[in-house]
Amino acid sequence: MRSAPVSVSARLRPLARPLAATLARALAPFAALAVGLAPAASAPAGPARPSPEALAERVLASVPLVDGHNDWPWAMRTHFGLEKAREADLSADPGVRRPQPGHTSIPLLRAGRVGAQLWSLYVPMRLRGEEAVRTSFEQLELVRHWVARHPETFALVTTADELERAFRRGRIASLLAFEGAHQVDDDILTLRRAHAAGLRAMTLTHSQPSALFDSATAEARHGGMAPAGRAMIAEMNRLGVLVDLSHVSPAVMHQVLDIAAAPVIFSHSSARAVTDHPRNVPDDVLKRLPANGGVVMVTFVPAFVSQARADWETRRQAQRLVAGQGAEAEARMAAWEKANPRPVATLAMVADHIEHVARVAGHDHVGIGGDYDGVPDLPQGLETVATYPALFAELARRGWSEANLRKLAGGNFLRVLRANEATARRLAAARPAPR
């Protein structure tokens, strides 16, 4: 019997599946490309980046904001005297305390989200020897007394772990810092005594050379560091006292970086390439920070962040020399200042310095050191310690990531503090203090 005729479509049907599979494999790359070119609206949206202000608040709520320098203890002592400063109302409006408005109070610290503060226990360099030491320890005890009076607000800390624990408990971690080795009479035994009382950072000098270190703002006396300065640096490293290179000459900066066994800090300095002021840090020093591990805590001092302000202050100092002393001299100075208004520094200028340090030294080597209550005025937008969030919001607007904002706020300082603690343990085990 003859079979029925088969249609063309029926004869091709067995070939359809292999052909379809082959075509699918051949067209797969083009299908993927088509998906990639599809309108963005067809893909699920990711989380929106928070506003700069919200990002700043999130960062400061999650990591302690560490400020490297605040002169509130000396400002209060200057205004009230030592005994009244001990019992002064730390919550009072700063404008009520002094004829010239201050910058710090407990409410302002809270508003500024300050998590940790290196309190400068400054005493002027006109005090020397035993008088400088006695006054320095009085300042140390003043801050300890404040902390004891306000345990709901402050916690005295000496380690990174204690700092973070205080922050988690809602306290402002308080570290004690001297502003010049003259405060220990350039003496290692006195340094040990201060360390035992809680000292954890020390600037090497201030506005003039000390017995061991040259200043950034005076004629050199030692060509940088005196030979005995090496022993002071070594002992600070052994004790775990942070070596603070603010106020020293560039020669001292380099010489200390040559020998330091632990990361250094600049507690309140800015970038010299942005504002040519002798108190700022040159780029050749910034470039060495990654190898040392240290941090520049950018300051807000108007003359350090504004070139116009720095130049104005130089002209004003020259005018003061010409004017002389007395009532007529003061009248001449007032007339000069009226004819030559003081240039205004701004928050944006401070952000420029922070970005320069981050660009040259790296985001791991920049922090904040306002110098509140150590200068008569601050940049617009940074008038009191309540304004730190505005600075972080400005950097967020400039594209700073949350990770880098966290480093700036306190992550970098905590790393430096921990490294100094580790170095101190290692050196103390290898080289105990002489008896």
Residues designated as active site: 69, 71, 179, 206, 247, 268, 371
Any alpha helices (H) in 306-382, and if so which ranges?
307-323, 327-339, 347-360
Q: Which of 356, 256, 345 is nearest to 303 (CA)?
A: 345
DSSP 51: P
- State whether the Cα torsion 189-193-196-198 is positive or negative: negative
Residue 9 Cα to chain centre, angstroms:
81
| Rounded (10°) angle between helices 129-149 and 72-80 | 100
Six token digits for residue 138: 């009085």
CA-to-CA distance for 49 and 108, rounded, in angstroms? Answer: 28
CA-to-CA distance for 310 and 342, rounded, in angstroms? Answer: 10
Question: In sequence order, which residues have a C-beta less than 8 Å from that of residue 334 and are 6 or more positions away?
Answer: none
Q: Which of 298, 287, 272 is nearest to 354 (CA)?
A: 298
Q: In Å, how far are 243, 327, 367, 390, 432 from 346, measured between CA atoms? A: 29, 33, 18, 12, 48
**Beta carbons of 283 and 272 less than 8 angstroms apart:** yes
CA-to-CA distance for 168 and 80, rounded, in angstroms? Answer: 33
CA-to-CA distance for 316 and 323, rounded, in angstroms? Answer: 10
The residue type at 184: V
CA-to-CA distance for 5 and 10, rounded, in angstroms? Answer: 10
- Count of beta carbons in the 10 Å neighbourhood of residue 346: 16
Residue 285 Cα to chain centre, angstroms:
16
Facing residues of 202 across strands? Answer: 178, 243
The distance in angstroms from the start CA to the end CA of the chain is 122
Residue 273 Cα to chain centre, angstroms:
18
Q: Which residue has the tokens 């560039």?
A: 250
